[in-house]
Structure 1
Amino acid sequence: MSNSPGSFDSLGDFRTIALIGKYQSLEIADALRDLVAFLQAQGREVLIEEGTAAAVGCHGCRTATFSRIGEQADLAIVVGGDGTMLNAARRLAAYAIPLAGVNQGRLGFMTDIASQSMLEGIASLLDGEFSPEQRFLLDARVMREGETLFSALALNDVVINKGDIGRMIEVEVRVDGEFIYILRADGMIIATPTGSTAYALSANGPILHPAVHGVALVPLCPHALSNRPITISDESRIEIQLLAQYDARIHFDGHEYFDARAGDLLQVQRSSHAITLMHPPGYSYFAMLREKLHWSGTPRH
């Protein structure tokens, strides 16, 4: 087995395949059972993530924790929506296992194998017809008086916001140690190119192509209209300090959060981990945007 992203070029690379699904979904349970039968008929070893197996009732299947999947699987197939993919990507990032997504959700920016043609798409992937694409993650930590209180990975974004209070918060923003501004707003989104089509997009942030080596800083409802979104290098270190008398909540991909106090420091930088998404034949990032964002018009010839 090779755990080097981008080096998947033979059928032997995908002998052990893990299946991860959204919990409590009858549609996904049926799809997972179809996938198990399809893969086993090809003589491949199949692992079902243990939470998925418990939720869909996949009795008699080999179950595995995320750590075991990371150690043993050559490929992980995620059946669900982008939220399911986000969770799997963060849990498996340290293992460099390629991920393929079957879209059973609403948008599917990352799960791009259509559910109605799932078996055909997976068959093409296993035959070597795929396009690997790397996406980087963010390392985030919350500091208090020099000590790390909380740390997490994020594939989409890190968001600091006002939490449950009904007023703005005030933070000091620095990039690579240089003071940028003091922001009075509902909060700030720090988004990767992957996350630029998620929460940041709804806050009027820029769409960043996955090949762009950048991170978007997107203020949420800033008091000063001149506080606009900005894209910085993905090599930058971002520091956001919560100023006195304000508390806030910090979210990591919408899956984890930490309640911060005045004076706490949020540090964010590019992680050493990356994930590899396996796209089906004919995949186009711009075609995906046209479909998901309902861009109109047809090309002129």
Structure 2
Amino acid sequence: MDVAVGIVAQRDNERAQELAASLVDALEREGASVVVDEATGGAIGATAVPVDAMAGRDIVVSIGGDGTLLFVAREVGAAPIIGVNLGEVGFLNAVAPEDALGVVTEVVADLAETGTVEGRELARLRATGVDDDWTLEPALNEVLVHGPRRGHGGGATIEVRVDGQKYVESHADGVLVATPTGSTAYNLSEGGPLVHPTADALVVTQMAATEAMPPLVVEPDSEITLSVTGTDTGYAISDGRNRQRLDPPATVSVSLAADPVTLVGPQANFFDGLDKLE
């Protein structure tokens, strides 16, 4: 089969752009159809499209840190992703830059020959308004609900229910619902537990709560509702980027999104990544 490949390089990163150029040359020599993101295309003179136009590609290569891969995952839908790590930790990006040419060309060659590619699915979260008609973009790391701002005088009263059963209600800076992937991100900085990436679970973690309960690990198919009161304004945020203003009293429902992210190629070593955390 003819393989369609998209490449997204970290913006304003010369090293990422140079690697993207090398990948374009190598893949086109092998007969693949290759496009890059618009910023990279302007820098290296390659065929370019908006990142969201790569949603129909057979494989998308993300070159950068975990933040770049999170951005790519938001934009390309169900397209399988290979992560090339130019960042510090690399929980999502398993491929070292020096190995990228060999790994990516091998994966593309296997796909061309067999029509299939092996990968690991990563759960995403879907946040919707219970009383209002809105839905945030799926979150690979976490959904956060908080008051008008972090810190003194900026919190809210947030009630947490799991499948309709009340877990806790307290004044807090906010509440996080994290996937196993997101357990090493914002969740960890707020005292939440590490969750192995292969675990089938979600984590609920309060942030600076006055009446705190321990972080709660629940089944992935649970419906978690976060009800906000005691403030004039609140926010629901997906992966720190997509934001919905709340007008309390307001309730946010968080559950698994229908479409996971698929990572292909070598997988990152979770415990090696932990050694790099500060």
For the criterion TM > 0.5, the same-fold answer is: yes
Per the alignment, residue 240 of structure 1 pairs with 226
CA distance in 2, matches of 1:253, 1:179: 25
Does 2:201 correspond to 1:214? yes
CA distance in 2, matches of 1:161, 1:213: 26
TM-score (norm 1): 0.82
Per the alignment, residue 114 of structure 2 pairs with none
- Deviation, 1:237, is 0.8
**Bigger mean CA offset, 101-110 vs 245-254:** 245-254
Match of 1:140 among 113, 119, 127: 127
CA distance in 2, matches of 1:51, 1:248: 35
Does 2:111 correspond to 1:126? no
Per the alignment, residue 49 of structure 2 pairs with 64
Per the alignment, residue 269 of structure 2 pairs with 285
Number of aligned residue pairs: 271
- Deviation, 1:67, is 4.2
Amino acid in structure 1 at the alignment position of 2:83: G
Per the alignment, residue 231 of structure 1 pairs with 217
Amino acid in structure 1 at the alignment position of 2:35: L
- Aligned residue runs from structure 1 range 9-158, under 5 A: 12=1, 15-54=3-42, 57-59=43-45, 61-71=46-56, 73-93=57-77, 96-128=78-110, 132-143=119-130, 146-158=131-143
Does 2:241 correspond to 1:255? yes
Per the alignment, residue 185 of structure 2 pairs with 198
Per the alignment, residue 265 of structure 1 pairs with 251
- Deviation, 1:284, is 5.7
RMSD of aligned Cα (Å): 2.2
Amino acid in structure 2 at the alignment position of 1:189: L
Q: Is the strand fraction higher in 1 or 2? A: 1
Q: Is the 8 A contact 1:169 1:246 kept in 2?
A: no
Matched residue of 2:123: which SS? Answer: strand
CA distance in 2, matches of 1:101, 1:113: 6
Q: Is the 8 A contact 2:63 2:86 kept in 1?
A: yes
Per the alignment, residue 183 of structure 1 pairs with 170
For residues 199-254 of structure 1, give each alpha carbon's deviation from its aligned partner in whole angstroms, at most 9, with x where no partner exists.
111122122222222110011122124x1101111111111111133522322111
Q: 1:218 to 1:243 in 2, by over 3 A?
A: same
- Deviation, 1:91, is 1.8
Unaligned runs of 5+ in 1: 1-11, 295-301
Q: Is the 8 A contact 2:94 2:268 kept in 1?
A: no
Q: Percent identity?
A: 25
Q: Is the 8 A contact 1:141 1:152 kept in 2?
A: no
Q: Is the 8 A contact 1:142 1:151 kept in 2?
A: no
For residues 46-103 of structure 1, give each alpha carbon's deviation from its aligned partner in whole angstroms, at most 9, with x where no partner exists.
011234434xx232x22223443222x110000111111111112223xx22100111
Per the alignment, residue 276 of structure 1 pairs with 262
Q: Is the 8 A contact 2:27 2:105 kept in 1?
A: no
Amino acid in structure 2 at the alignment position of 1:171: I
Per the alignment, residue 4 of structure 1 pairs with none
Unaligned runs of 5+ in 2: 112-116
Q: Is the 8 A contact 2:91 2:270 kept in 1?
A: no
Q: 1:263 to 1:53 in 2, by over 3 A?
A: farther
CA distance in 1, matches of 2:83, 2:134: 33
Matched residue of 2:248: which SS? Answer: coil
Q: Is the 8 A contact 1:185 1:223 kept in 2?
A: yes
Q: Is the 8 A contact 1:201 1:207 kept in 2?
A: yes
